[in-house]
Amino acid sequence: MNGLLIVDKPGGMTSHDVVSRVRRAMGESSIGHLGTLDPMATGVLPLLLGKYTRLAQYFGSLEKTYTGTIRFGFATDTYDAEGKPTGEVVQIPLMLEQVRAAAAKFYGEIEQMPPAFSAKKTGGKRAYQLARAGETPLLKPARIHIRKFEITSLADNTASFLMTVSAGGYVRSVAHELGIELGCGAHLASLRRVAAGPFALENAIPLAEIEANTAEMLSQKMPHPRTLLAELPCVTADKFSMGRLRNGAAVNLPEFGSAPLVKVFEDQQTLVAIAKRIAGTLFQPVVVMA
């Protein structure tokens, strides 16, 4: 089965666990996700199935939107509720406007240090492997963009928030650094991804529902292939061009202005290739799907 499935990931399992269960449920061995969610987190986890896994490179920069809560008073070693406290609980009477003012410092382009307990690689090992062994991973800060960070409420030392962040950004790190900014320590208490690029929670299917349905029924709930990678123009090629594309040969396609890449379809539904402009209307396939 080829396509994209938007899963509403439950808490308490890794993204890889979700992939494994969907593989069994749909009888499709080739599945990959578009952006890891921590075990604690829930929400939107887009999966590419079958030959669509070849398109993963074009989804690499998906902006993510989250809702969640931040608990003030103490930090943890993992920066979230699953970690161990790194100090005593501090009681500081925080005001909503005070927290909002501190959060405003995280808008825009910022340098962010990934958590020690993360999947970042350093010295050939995952950072969390080193951290679990009692070592300090040598991580480098990354430049990310936080387009939105709204503190929506504050009660009992816990703030609710809405955040939109670029690919590669860690919400856990923002929570941790916000606690430092306020001088009381903090950690991420809960997290739900409500959107990953154009893929929204209202179109996500709970994992239990996926496991209870047939692959044929689930295929009807997948986004239409022509709506995927909406920034790329679509073209339906003739039979002769299809044959050349499948063999990796260049073909002439209708003009699309200056678009460097196009999606080539055999019919309204079947995506055959992603093709790159060589010159004029001449396009070379860079990914062949069928």
CA distance 286 to 232: 14
- What CATH class has 227-288? mainly beta
Pairing between strand 108-112 and 142-155?
A: antiparallel
List the catalytic residue out of 38, 77, 80, 267.
38
Superfamily of domain 64-195: Pseudouridine synthase (3.30.2350.10)
Asked if the domains at 64-195 and 227-288 fall in one CATH topology, the answer is no
Superfamily of domain 3-62+198-223: Pseudouridine synthase (3.30.2350.10)
Note if the pTM is more than 0.85: yes
Question: Residue ranges per domain, the chain?
Answer: 3-62+198-223, 64-195, 227-288
47 pLDDT more than 90: yes
pLDDT at residue 14, rounded to an integer: 93
Instruction: Kindly report which listed range (130-139, 214-223, 262-271) carries the lowest average pLDDT score.
Output: 130-139
pLDDT at residue 128, rounded to an integer: 74
Instruction: Kindly report which listed range (60-64, 135-139, 180-184, 185-189) carries the lowest average pLDDT score.
Output: 135-139
pLDDT tens, position by position, 57-78: 999 789 999 999 999 999 999 9
CA distance 273 to 284: 10
Angle at 263 between CA 261 and CA 267, to 5 degrees: 160
CA distance 102 to 79: 18
pLDDT tens, position by position, 213-241: 888 888 888 999 999 999 999 999 999 99
CA distance 92 to 72: 8
Mean pLDDT throughout 98-111? 95
Establish whether 38 is a catalytic residue.
Answer: yes
